[in-house]
């Protein structure tokens, strides 16, 4: 169950939250944990709070940056409590769980940011979707492991329901393939002066959002890379 789903913790400050996350995962049938630049790991405090779930910690994968952690995935879903001006597609918890349960043939990352600051704008640009967990207006800050527990519980609950057989399973390109295409396109547009030093930040952000929305499949990315290659060849002549 959920062998295609990875829980990704980014820049975790407190090792206890890593241990508590491992416990939250295992109680709901999740095993894949990825850690991006944690402040302290391995840690005795993480082990203590894992409470019998040390196998999750022992098998956790460590990465120095988020792109490396997600390059083998197809879909990246970021958890964020803050509203953003950038129009990254959002999902409700119900939409998120339905999507994941009906797409067990692709690799999916659920990405959680630092305890105090969450995911940065740059990290959110890598995400295909954003999910926010609803909270009471008086206090909106969820503990990291509590957020993991809520989402994994909702997924576990949804997995025990009859899946929608009419939903077509998608086969998107991997994050590595999609990001390579986006960077190639940005480089090309720089050569043609469509992207300049003045508009670089705003346009690159919009390009990321545009193609992350598209859920590009592998064949589509290959076709787009072929288009870029043909344009580059023409420019060199």
Q: Is 138 exposed, middle or buried (0-12, 13-18, 19+ CB in 10 A)?
A: exposed
Looking at the fold, whether 122 and 225 belong to one and the same domain comes out as no
Mean pLDDT of 100-106: 91
How confident is the model over 113-159, as pLDDT tens digits? 999 889 998 899 899 999 998 888 887 778 999 999 999 999 999 98
Looking at the fold, whether 151 and 204 belong to one and the same domain comes out as no
Last residue of a domain, one of 159, 192, 223: 159
pLDDT of residue 60: 97
pLDDT of residue 82: 61
Residue 22: give the domain boundaries: 5-159
Looking at the fold, whether 138 and 188 belong to one and the same domain comes out as no
Last residue of a domain, one of 133, 159, 185: 159
Mean pLDDT of 220-227: 92
Contacts of 99 by beta carbon, 8 Å cutoff, 6+ apart:
91
Domain count, the chain: 2
Output the CA angle 55-57-61, nearest 5 degrees: 115
Looking at the fold, whether 194 and 101 belong to one and the same domain comes out as no
In the chain, how many H helices and how many E strands? 10, 7
> Is position 168 within any domain?
no
> Is position 200 within any domain?
yes
Looking at the fold, whether 10 and 105 belong to one and the same domain comes out as yes
CB 35: neighbour CB atoms within 10 A?
21
23-32, 51-60, 169-178: segment of lowest average pLDDT = 169-178
The CATH number of residue 221's host domain is: 1.10.8
pLDDT of residue 92: 92
- Phi first, then psi, for residue 28 (nearest 5°) are -115, 10
Give 213's pLDDT tier (boundaries 50, 70, 90).
confident
Q: How far apart are CA 164 and CA 13, in angstroms?
A: 39
pLDDT of residue 140: 74
Q: Is the pLDDT of residue 186 over 60?
A: yes
pLDDT of residue 161: 67
Give 58's pLDDT tier (boundaries 50, 70, 90).
very high
Looking at the fold, whether 122 and 230 belong to one and the same domain comes out as no
How confident is the model over 10-32, as pLDDT tens digits? 999 999 999 999 999 999 999 99
């Amino acid at each position: 169950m959920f062998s295609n789903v990875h829980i990704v913790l980014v820049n975790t400050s407190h090792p206890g939250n890593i241990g508590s996350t491992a416990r939250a995962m295992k109680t709901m049938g999740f095993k894949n944990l990825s850690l991006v630049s944690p402040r302290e790991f391995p840690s005795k405090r993480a082990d203590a709070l894992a409470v019998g779930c040390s196998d999750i910690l022992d098998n956790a994968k460590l990465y120095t940056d988020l792109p490396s952690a997600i390059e083998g995935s197809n879909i990246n879903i970021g958890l964020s409590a803050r509203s953003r001006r950038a129009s990254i597609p959002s999902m409700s918890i119900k939409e998120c769980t339905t999507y994941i349960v009906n797409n067990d043939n692709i690799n999916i990352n659920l990405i959680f940011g630092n305890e105090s600051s969450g995911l940065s704008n740059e990290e959110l640009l890598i995400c295909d979707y954003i999910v926010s967990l609803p909270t009471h207006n008086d206090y909106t800050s969820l503990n990291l492991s509590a957020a993991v527990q809520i989402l994994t519980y909702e997924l576990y609950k949804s997995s025990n329901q009859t899946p929608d057989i009419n939903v077509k399973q998608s086969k998107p390109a991997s994050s590595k393939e999609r990001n390579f295409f986006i960077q190639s396109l940005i480089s090309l547009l720089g050569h043609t002066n469509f992207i300049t030093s003045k508009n670089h930040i705003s346009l690159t952000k919009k390009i990321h959002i545009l193609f992350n929305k598209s859920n590009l499949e592998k064949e589509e990315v290959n076709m787009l890379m072929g288009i870029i290659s043909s344009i580059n060849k023409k420019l060199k002549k």
